[in-house]
Amino acid sequence: MKEQRNPIDPGLFLKEAIAPEVIAFNQVVEETLAKFPRLDQVPLEETRQSRAEGRMLTGEVVPIYRSALADNVLVNTGQRDIEIRVFRPKQIKGVYLHIHGGGWVFGSYDLQDDWLEDIATSCQVAVVSVQYRLAPEHPFPAGADDCEAVAAWLVENAMKEFGTDRIMVGGESAGAHLSAVTCIRMREKHQYSGFKGAVLTYGIHDVGLTPSVVNWGERNLIISTPTMKWVADLFVPDASQRRTADVSPLYADLDQFPPSLLTAGTWDPLLDDSLFMHAKLVSLGRQSELVLYPGGIHGFDIVDTPVISKQARERIKSFIMSS
């Protein structure tokens, strides 16, 4: 009888596995965040405005990069008009449907132009980023409906718009959650299971909150237990609905789920979400790769954590190119 032991390297979770510069970086992040209120303690509109202006916690304003490759397009999905941001490189060999993060309450399709432009040019894919509706003004299923509608539009129009029907999907945090939800909905409601790959970067796969989130506490490394409870309350006000198959991918039928790359840091409160999602996909015979980065906090690739952020981004681009 075939037996597999320790498919995940236990050494990745040891402090000794964390590069000294990563430990130092995390300490600076934690000390800086300790000087300011948590996200759930600041008016939502204030945080949204700060992010839209590129204003950092320290008050410093960092100009937001706007890609010359990108255009905002209004598409009629048949349900409602939805804005997408389209990045068109010189050569297009596929399409990457990107869904931004932000705990379902923050974020925008035009705040990651540097990263999406990098994907577009390095991977030779058109990138389509979705401006989905945010909670609490539009709780679940509004955002998921928008992502599904754009995905359905893209499947129907990719060949005409981009000259290819090779489509990948992915995002970070809440964007990874909505990416997984979109894959499931496209199979169940549109009989489409043709996504070539799913990029699920430190995703939220159990909106009811996994043990690593619940047990994390108030330690603020970008997110914490209180902030995760807060965004879950805003996104799905009825707690009894959070662990249904419609809301949380961990409880859904993952049959025909696309080949997936799951990325997580070992210092992320959402670690269990990636561990559990990977385990379920593998147990169902789906192709899944889990890459763990010692000491990585939530958003470690976006905040340019020394050493590991570049590694993570290169691995993601490699997955997109090979999918």
Residue 2 has pLDDT above 70, yes or no: no
Render pLDDT for 237-261 as a digit per residue (tens, 0 to 9).
999 999 999 999 999 999 999 999 9
**What is the per-residue pLDDT across 112-141, written as a single tens digit (0 to 9) for each?**
999 999 999 999 999 999 999 999 999 999
Taking the C-alpha atoms of residue 160 and residue 153, their distance in angstroms, rounded to an integer, is 11
pTM value surpassing 0.95: yes
pLDDT greater than 80 at residue 309: yes
Rounded to an integer, the average pLDDT of 166-183 is: 98
pLDDT at site 4: 63
Q: What is the pLDDT of residues 48-101, one digit of tens each?
A: 999 999 887 666 888 999 999 999 999 999 879 999 999 999 999 999 999 999
Buried residues in 294-321 as b, exposed as e (16+ CB within 10 A): bbbbbbbbbeebebbbeebbebbbebbb
The whole-number pLDDT of residue 113 equals 98
Q: Is the pLDDT of residue 3 over 70?
A: no
3-state secondary structure the chain: CCCCCCCCCHHHHCHHHCCHHHHHHHHHHHHHHCCCCCHHHCCHHHHHHHHHHCECCCCCECCCCCCCCEEEEEEECCCCEEEEEEECCCCCCCEEEEECCCCCCCCCCCCCHHHHHHHHHHHCCEEEEECCCCCCCCCCCHHHHHHHHHHHHHHHHHHHHHCCCCEEEEEECHHHHHHHHHHHHHHHHHCCCCCCEEEEECCCCCCCCCHHHHCCCCCCECECHHHHHHHHHHHCCCHHHCCCCCCCHHHCCCCCCCCEEEEEECCCCCHHHHHHHHHHHHHCCCCEEEEEECCCCCCCCCCCCCCHHHHHHHHHHHHHHHC
Confidence of residue 295 (pLDDT cuts 50, 70, 90): very high
| 199 strand-pairing partners | 170, 261
Mean pLDDT rounded to a whole number for the chain = 96
Contacts of 20 (CB under 8 A, 6+ apart): none
Answer whether residue 219 shows pLDDT above 70. yes
CA atoms within 13 A on the CB side of 215: 6
* Predicted local distance difference test score (pLDDT) of residue 78: 86
